[in-house]
């Protein structure tokens, strides 16, 4: 799964790009850039937050620190 897929799943679960951006401390336009593949890499901290949001919408609670 790549960051585009993560954003897509979050949006499909009902989060808006603006809400995702707000939780990350980023603008909606940045989230859109990731979603369309214009931005391909994210900072580690942002990735961890995206993974946590994904766990939240999936109803899972995984500790991804070991995988990083």
pLDDT in tens, 2-40: 999 999 999 999 999 999 999 999 999 999 999 999 998
Residue 1: pLDDT band by 50, 70, 90 thresholds? Answer: confident
Whole-number pLDDT of residue 67: 46
3-58: in CATH 1.10.260 = yes
**Start-to-end C-alpha separation, the chain:** 14
Where do the domains of the chain lie? 3-58
pTM of the predicted model as reported, rounded to 2 decimal places: 0.84
Spatial distance between the Cα atoms of 12 and 45, rounded to a whole number of angstroms: 23
């Amino acid at each position: 799964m790549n960051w585009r897929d993560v954003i897509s799943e979050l949006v499909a679960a009902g989060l808006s790009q603006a809400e995702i951006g707000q939780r990350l401390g980023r603008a909606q336009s940045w989230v859109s850039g990731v979603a369309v593949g214009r931005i391909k890499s994210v900072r580690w901290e942002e990735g961890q937050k995206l993974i946590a949001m994904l766990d939240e919408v999936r109803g899972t609670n995984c500790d991804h620190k070991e995988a990083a």
